[in-house]
Amino acid sequence: MKSNTIAPVAIKSRVKKGSVPVYVPFLFLIPAIILLTIFRYIPAFSAVYHSFTDWNGTSASNWIGLEQYNNLFSDSVFLRSMQNIVVYTITRTLLTTAMAIIGAELVYNLRSTQMRSVWRVVFTIPLVIPTTVVFLIWRRVYSGDIGLLNDTLRLFGLDGLTRAWLGNPDTALWALIFVGFPLISTFGFLVILAGLENLPQEVNSAALLDGCSRFHRVFAIDLPAMRGPLAFVAILSINAGLQEFAPMFIMTGGGGPVNATQSPGLYLYQQAITYGKYGYASAIGTILMLVTLAFSIFILAARYRRAIDVEV
Amino acid sequence: MPSKRFVSTAMVLLFTLSLVLAACGDTPTTAPAATTAAAGAATTAAAGAATTAAAGAAATTAAGAAPAATSGKKVSGEISVYLNSYYDPTADKETADVTAAIAKEYEAAHPGTKINLVAAVPTGTDLETWLAARMAANQSPEIMWQQFGTRNQRASTWWLPLNQYLNAPNPYIAAGQPGSAKWSDSLPDYVLAQTKAPDNNWYQVSLDWVETGLYYNKDIFAKAGVDPTTWKSWANYVKDMQTIKEKTGVSPLGMYIAQQGWSNWWWVDDMLLTANWGDKANDFYLEKYKTAAAFRQLNPEEVAKAIIEGKLNATDPRMDNYLKMSKEYVGLLPNDYTSIPNLDELDPLFYSGKVASVWTGTWKNKTYAKNIPFNYGVAYLPPFTKDDAPGATGSAYRVGGPSSAGQYGITQAAAKAGGGKLDLAVDFLHFLSAPQNFGRMAKAFGGYIPMVKGSQSGDVMAGFQKIAELPERLFNDPDGRLTVESGNKWSQAMQGFFLGQTDVATTKANLQKVWMDGAKSLCTAQKYDWCK
């Protein structure tokens, strides 16, 4: 049977072959490489180097070998911060990804293109609010005496459930995890929605003709086809989560109470800025960098081990 | 369409321009209220603040010599100066105008000089970040404010020791007046003793001190039948506050405990430690720091030595009573006392009647007079009796000290810059700290008691004179007792105790570890001769 394939369209280059020397494109990369080197690579290598010193940020440093790392792994606050950040990152990544999928599927399945556009805008607008403002608003939402959450609970006669959400070690970390609830308005929502809209419509139509329900199609077709975008969203979310600093800093006064919301990023900041222990802070940064790198490699490896179906 | 393209191009250019302008601006602006709050963070105390001002004023009148307009020293160039609440045009234009006028007078008397007053910088821990970056780059203002506990921690890495200047004359103080022969004479002895860094240097001049008081809602207190003027003991006061909670359902006291950095809980902590260890003060004092005051605040070296020698020990039975009193007091606080982020966040609770009182500082005077929508008064805490704590000395203690806006030092950036910047910075600081100049600023602001002899406090501070006459606390705030880090760890250990994570025995052990680690760390850093 003759296959009915479509031949790829040849794109005609606007630049004549041989008219531009081969090195020219590399010249355009030089500014980016210089900036990357100055603001990314040098600080990163400097941090690794200083993690083996007792640098205080201003004076000359002394080489002390692995002492900072020895201290780090016997520092209960640092270990607590690692535990917190793993819980925070995994839970928040799962929640935000799940909610982004739900949000994207709901919008994608709207029949009216106008309504689809409206909802896409509705879910996107909150993304333009500065995150600092978001954290300040949520700090007030969780406030014990004048907080929206407790006021709402009291309104429904649920006074017994009211509490100091950020002041209680049992609830503080979870309160941070749920900041931004229902967690739909995220970058992940946009990525997944874009991925869904790029899926070949013929596959969807065929599935529906074969009697596949919309709900079943999500698991049978959409999610397997979205492994690329999902891996992308997961990597971004995990990277951001592991390095999280702002909500702990803004909402819980520096990782409290009793380090219940302490994160390695915040602990690094405190050691460097508050105590002038730049060497110790550099060791925390190096560990954090390695952990983030390991997670990213793991996810990328898992993603590339499987077939790549759809690219965003 | 061409018009569309024009609009979009214009928008892109405008956006780019705004980015460039934003990047070029070197003076960030922040909420003015927060700036003043930062000035109040972490306090210490000393007795007789009010009397100093009065004595100095009398001295000026008696002598009658006119102060000099110039020092006679040739200075030129340009410096930046950050004066905290004394120059914050957004929050307090009246005071800012007075300060700006003083700077202009200086420029007029010294042609070729330019004084750039920095309007606002970030506050609290943000200030530390802001300063850390500028100090590392030698780009900080030449004359700068920093909270006294943290500035002593940074010491000579950031600040220029002022000892040699304090021992020399201040040419702007009229001949015959305190300070004209030796600048340090313009400040009371207890101020100099209190502000000396652990390495025996002075890194800033302490031109004013703060006071604190219990600002209370008269309506709520009356409803509960509580009259603060009848408080005779700490137990009496705590019982009355509990009555307020029972009868009105309102949290009696607006206070909070931060896990990191200053919180007004530290004042209670200082008080309760003082009440329980007050009778041991003489065992802790070092002879070399002796002043005229019989009961004064311990400095970090004295605390460290007492801890290392075992005289001050958190596992001592006295600490049982300290922990009992602390836990009892925590019951008076709002239920999210461990998550309220800063002092200003107590204001909405106070204004809305969710808390019946707030223990705060005099820098709030103007704000409260303008914003509080009910009758309010200012009270203070009663004495500690032997029944309250066996170690009590029978007195209430003052919570105030050099955590106000008038704490100025010269940064290492000025010393390293060359080009006469250091001479100009020293000369302008002389000029600013002369009573005829600083007195005007203090009077206009009205939130702090000026410490410069010969300057007078404004009317607003009159109500705090009685509080200022109380003896000072034996113990400074946790971050000023030993090190900033041990202060934060102390807070965290106490949070753990209040939240039920640790029992009394474990808490005492934790506190002792915090003290011992802090004392050893200070010993290592300062290399005191008694350190082994």
Q: Where residue B518 sits, what CATH number does that domain have?
A: 3.40.190.10
Cα of B386 to nearest chain A Cα, Å:
33
| Within a domain: B20 | no
| Within a domain: B360 | yes
Cβ neighbors of B154 (< 8 A, separation 6 or more) are A276, B135, B146
Residue B63 has pLDDT above 60, yes or no: no
Residue B193 has pLDDT above 50, yes or no: yes
Angstrom distance (rounded) from CA A287 to CA A295: 12
Residue A308 has pLDDT above 60, yes or no: no
| Topology classification of domain A72-305 | MetI-like fold (1.10.3720)
| Within a domain: B6 | no
The stretch B29-50 carries a mean pLDDT of 30
Render pLDDT for B269-310 as a digit per residue (tens, 0 to 9).
999 999 999 999 999 999 888 776 778 889 899 999 999 999
Same-domain check for residues B205 and B218: no
φ, ψ (nearest 5 deg) of residue B257: -125, 115
Render pLDDT for B242-274 as a digit per residue (tens, 0 to 9).
999 999 999 999 999 999 999 999 999 999 999
The stretch B140-148 carries a mean pLDDT of 90
Same-domain check for residues B391 and B416: no
CB contact under 8 A, B499 and A255: no
Measured CB to CB, residues of chain B less than 8 Å from chain A are 125, 128-129, 132, 135-136, 153-154, 157-158, 251, 258-261, 334-342, 348-349, 352, 354-355, 484-485, 488, 492, 495-496, 499, 501
Render pLDDT for A244-286 as a digit per residue (tens, 0 to 9).
999 999 999 889 899 999 999 999 999 998 888 999 999 999 9
Residue B16 has pLDDT above 70, yes or no: no
Chain B positions in Cβ-Cβ contact with residue A145 (cut-off 8 Å): 251, 334-336, 349, 354-355
**Per-residue pLDDT, B7:** 54
Q: What percent of chain B has pLDDT over 70?
A: 85
What is the layout of strands, in order, in the sheet containing B376-379? Answer: B357-361, B212-217, B376-379
Residue B238 has pLDDT above 80, yes or no: yes
**Per-residue pLDDT, B3:** 54
Average pLDDT of chain B to the nearest whole number: 85
| Within a domain: B10 | no
Domain boundaries, chain A: 72-305
- Given pLDDT bands bounded at 50, 70 and 90, which one contains residue B14? low
Of B58-67, B184-193, B325-334, B472-481, which gets the smallest average pLDDT? B58-67
| Within a domain: B284 | yes
Which of B425, B443, B461 finishes a domain?
Answer: B461
- Say whether residue A254 is in contact with chain B using an 8 A CB cutoff: yes
Long-range contacts made by residues A36-44, C-beta under 8 angstroms, separation at least 24?
A44/A289
> Distances in Å between the alpha carbon of A107 and those of A97, A111, A117, A118, A205?
15, 9, 8, 9, 18
The stretch A186-194 carries a mean pLDDT of 90
- Given pLDDT bands bounded at 50, 70 and 90, which one contains residue B123? confident
- Given pLDDT bands bounded at 50, 70 and 90, which one contains residue B58? very low
Selected residue with higher pLDDT from B58 and A211: A211
Angstrom distance (rounded) from CA B302 to CA B319: 19
Same-domain check for residues B118 and B251: no
Q: At what angle do helices B421-433 and B435-445 cross, to 10 degrees?
A: 70
Distance of CA A290 to the CA centre of its chain: 17
Q: Is B514 helix (H, G, I), strand (E, B) or coil?
A: helix
- Interface with B, mutate which of A58, A135, A266 (most B CBs under 10 A): A58
Same-domain check for residues B268 and B200: no
| Within a domain: B515 | yes
Range of the domain at B131: 32-210+402-461
Same-domain check for residues B256 and B245: yes
Residue A311 has pLDDT above 90, yes or no: no
Same-domain check for residues B199 and B57: yes
| Within a domain: B448 | yes
Same-domain check for residues B342 and B409: no
CB contact under 8 A, B492 and A273: no
Chain B positions in Cβ-Cβ contact with residue A61 (cut-off 8 Å): none
Same-domain check for residues B389 and B409: no
- Interface with B, mutate which of A142, A143, A250, A270 (most B CBs under 10 A): A143
Report the domain count for chain B.
2
**Per-residue pLDDT, B61:** 36
Residue in B335, B342, B499 nearest the CB of A169 = B499
Same-domain check for residues B515 and B382: yes
Of A124-128, B11-15, B129-133, B408-412, which gets the smallest average pLDDT? B11-15
Residue B23 has pLDDT above 70, yes or no: no
Residue B317 has pLDDT above 60, yes or no: yes
Same-domain check for residues B283 and B379: yes
The stretch A286-297 carries a mean pLDDT of 90
The stretch A201-227 carries a mean pLDDT of 87
Same-domain check for residues B152 and B201: yes
Residue of B nearest to A136 (CA): B341
| Within a domain: B19 | no
Same-domain check for residues B48 and B163: yes
Render pLDDT for B318-330 as a digit per residue (tens, 0 to 9).
999 999 999 999 9
Angstrom distance (rounded) from CA A175 to CA A257: 13
Residue of A nearest to B495 (CA): A258
